[in-house]
Amino acid sequence: MGECGLEMMARHRDGLAAGAGVGGGSFDAGSGSGPLARLKSSRVGTSVMAAFLFGLLFFAMQSPPVPSSPMAYSSSSSSSSSSSSPLPPLGDNGTVAAAAAGVAPHPNGTAQRLPSIVIIGVRKGGTRALIEMLSLHSVVAAAENEVHFFDWESHFQKGLPWYLSQMPYARPGQLTVEKTPAYFTSSKVPRRLHQMNPDVKLLLILRDPTERVLSDYTQVFYNRLLKHKRHQPIEEVLVKDGEVNLGYKALNRSLYYVHMQNWLRYFPLGSIHVVDGDALIRDPFPEVKRVERFLQLPPQIDATCYSHMSGSAEWLKFWSGPVWILLLEVHI
């Protein structure tokens, strides 16, 4: 029962107790079995029951809390749709029609919507820090995890309804954002993302390409170290047959120009905002304000959000997650 219902029952009980004392104790509910005693007992029972039912009704009328994570999506409800068309048509305001998606809005007025903002990369560029900063804005609803819908075939074949089911619940007027850093370097993602929404806003955070390679290598090195797997010295992976090894994935990810050419085949430059990852580390506020203006968000974020953590280990007090990830992403 809700707190309101319990409070009303307590008040009613106190009122009955006070009423029982009127008249100098002429009536004792515990003694006597005459009509007056039975009537009084009946009234007490009826009043308590009424209070109990009112409390239940009040509790039922309360709005349910906003879900903190998306619902699990049942592929059986849209298996035919997913197999025939991985990208069903969009509905109003970035939502997929409920019949096609198999996901209905939540009763409390929130809804899962396809993202109108996507952080496409780059890996080890600071994407996690960027989405956490954007989450400070009340108009932004951020997906909790990297979805990998457009670059992983196993996810893409599940169809757009599955992608929608991975999005957070957003209030009316909120913009949904997701980040998957691997999108930037995948050759097939730009076309697929454009097919979903040609007007989507893209955020790309870049840092010094050499430092990014070192950060990328260090993360892989540390992961293999934890799993007791063999790791190669960096000079062995960077150089092959006396030449720079362009087939090394970490190095290839830092060839920004090559990958950007593919994105510009599908999206105009005005749809892509490049964030300076190195500047974001040193002084977050100016970079975040530029993002805010690009997304046409009402100004809410001010310097006090970041003044205590710019550019040093103070970040560790703010960003959640394993310490080594933060060190790799922010300091290397």
* Any domain includes 101: no
Q: Is the pLDDT of residue 55 over 60?
A: no
Q: Is the pLDDT of residue 192 over 90?
A: yes
Structural domain span for residue 174: 113-331
Q: Identify the three-state secondary structure at position 35.
A: helix
* Any domain includes 60: no
* Any domain includes 231: yes
Pairing of strands 169-170, 111-112: antiparallel
Q: What's 133's domain CATH number?
A: 3.40.50.300
- Tokens at 5, concatenated: 């219902």
Whether the model clears a pTM of 0.85, i.e. scores above it, the answer is no
* Any domain includes 87: no
Q: What is the pLDDT of residue 261?
A: 97
- Tokens at 245, concatenated: 């090894």
Considering only CA atoms, which of 168, 146, 148, 165 is closest in space to residue 156?
A: 148
How many other CB atoms are found less than 10 A from the CB of residue 274?
Answer: 15
C-alpha–C-alpha distance, residues 57 and 245, integer Å: 69
- Cβ atoms of 82 and 163 within 8 Å: the answer is no
* Any domain includes 91: no
* Any domain includes 120: yes
Q: How confident is the model at residue 212 (pLDDT cuts 50, 70, 90)?
A: very high
pLDDT digits (tens, 9 = 90+) for 137-182: 999 999 999 999 999 999 999 999 999 999 999 999 999 999 999 9
pLDDT digits (tens, 9 = 90+) for 100-150: 443 447 878 899 999 999 999 999 999 999 999 999 999 999 999 999 999
Structurally, the chain folds into a number of domains equal to 1
* Any domain includes 58: no
- Which residue did the predictor score with more confidence, 128 or 74? 128
DSSP summary character for residue 116: S
On the question of a cis peptide bond just before residue 122, with omega within 30 degrees of 0, the verdict is yes
Identity (one letter) of the amino acid at 12? H
Considering only CA atoms, which of 92, 204, 97 is closest in space to residue 160?
A: 97
- Which residue did the predictor score with more confidence, 63 or 220? 220
pLDDT digits (tens, 9 = 90+) for 273-332: 999 999 998 999 999 999 999 999 998 877 776 655 544 444 433 333 333 333 334 343
C-alpha–C-alpha distance, residues 141 and 196, integer Å: 19
Q: Identify the three-state secondary structure at position 43.
A: helix
Average pLDDT of span 25-33: 41
Pairing of strands 117-121, 175-179: parallel
- Cβ atoms of 146 and 183 within 8 Å: the answer is no
* Any domain includes 135: yes
C-alpha–C-alpha distance, residues 66 and 168, integer Å: 10
- Burial of 55-64, coded b for 16+ CB within 10 Å and e otherwise, reads beeeeeeeee
- Cβ atoms of 111 and 169 within 8 Å: the answer is yes
- Tokens at 33, concatenated: 């079995």
C-alpha–C-alpha distance, residues 106 and 6, integer Å: 28
